[in-house]
Amino acid sequence: MPNPPEFAAPARAYLRAVPDSYDRCLRSEPLPIDVPRARAQHASYAEALRAAGVEVALLEADEGCPDCCFVEDTALVLGAERALSTRPGAEGRRAEVGPVGAALQERLRVAPFGPGGTLDGGDVLRVGQTLFVGRSSRTDETGVARLRQVAAEVGLEVVALSVAGGLHLKSVVTLLAPGRLVALREGIALEPLRARGLECLEVDEPAGANVLALGPIVLVSAAAPATAELLAGQPGLEVRAVAVDEFHKGDGALTCLSLRVPPPGGWCV
Ligand code: CIR
């Protein structure tokens, strides 16, 4: 039996540039978006990844796809060598998938999703050898079944959870460290996660529930200062705040802006 992969900072992250059309992205509230400010925040986010030792690959924007910077939704990286293209639940976002799959294909074997069902990457939370997948407004049963099929090929278990509030599973719960999660209070039922031995730290700031753990470095939205303070008090974590409020306006957060590839023998979020 090979050793299970160890939690690690990503070796590489794929980002997709912010298009001029980003101010027409899908969003729940019609808040005005400042595209140049979003671009500056995107550049700082890329810098935060580099500062954590992650190689950043920036893919070109597509003006026909206002949401293309939320690259996480278009594929699932299942290890250092394997990925699955998704079929986003928002029909208008499906054209984002092809170019991202093609870029990943240069280094990973990318399985196509297939014709039916929907799955957004934002609904998949990796914790060790388990993929928690949210049944949400964007991910359906057929999507979960397709994920289960491909995950089984690489020895990953899939556990489905219901997402009632928030856009995606990772809008309300993300990984802080192996075995430790941060979740929006009352954002999701935590019993199925706690029953699996996972520690769940509850926070009150919606922008605080989506953190990005890069090994021991944890990126937290600057819009969630109380969460950042709480996490900074946790042993073994180095918390860094990153401003991504122009992406919160588009219902996105830290994980949405990249697709992360672990080093060989490692796993990452
Ligand atoms: C959407 O509604 O699809 C985008 N405006 C936001 C996607 C956020 N993605 C993510 O949380 N993984």
Per-residue model confidence (pLDDT) at position 147: 98
Ligand 1 site, CB within 6 A: 25-27, 67, 70, 72-73, 90, 93, 121-122, 167-168, 170-171, 250-252, 256
Task: Write out pLDDT tens, residues 135-172.
Answer: 999 999 999 999 999 999 999 999 999 998 889 999 99
Distance 20 CA to ligand 1 centre (A): 17
Question: Which of the listed residues 42, 123, 138, 167 should we mutate to test ligand 1's pocket, taking the one with most ligand atoms within 8 A of CB?
Answer: 167
Catalytic residue check, 256: yes
Q: How many CA atoms lie within 13 A of 77 on its CB side?
A: 28
Alpha carbon 101 to chain centroid, angstroms: 16
Instruction: Give the Å distance between the CA of 3 and the centre of ligand 1.
Output: 35
Q: Which atom of ligand 1 is nearest to the CA of 251?
A: 6
Q: Which residues make Cβ contacts (< 8 Å) with residue 149, sequence separation at least 6? A: none
Segments of the chain assigned E as strands:
6-7, 12-16, 55-59, 75-77, 82-85, 109-111, 124-127, 130-135, 157-162, 173-177, 180-184, 199-203, 212-214, 217-221, 238-242, 259-261, 266-267
Atom of ligand 1 nearest to the CA of 26: 5
Whole-angstrom Cα distance, residue 159 to residue 154? Answer: 15
Ligand 1 centre from 28 Cα, in Å?
Answer: 10
Catalytic residue of the set 65, 68, 256, 268: 256
Per-residue pLDDT tens over the stretch 71-105: 999 999 999 999 999 999 999 999 999 999 999 99
Active-site residue flag, 42:
no
Q: Taking the chain (269 residues) in consecutive chunks of 10 residues, what is each chunk's mean pLDDT? A: 89 98 97 98 98 98 98 98 98 98 98 96 98 97 98 97 92 98 96 98 98 98 98 96 98 98 97
Catalytic-labelled residue, pool 25, 42, 168, 268 = 168
CA atoms of 40 and 243, how far apart (whole Å) = 10
Backbone phi, psi, residue 11, to 5°: -80, -35
Q: Find the 70 Cα to ligand 1 centroid distance in Å.
A: 6
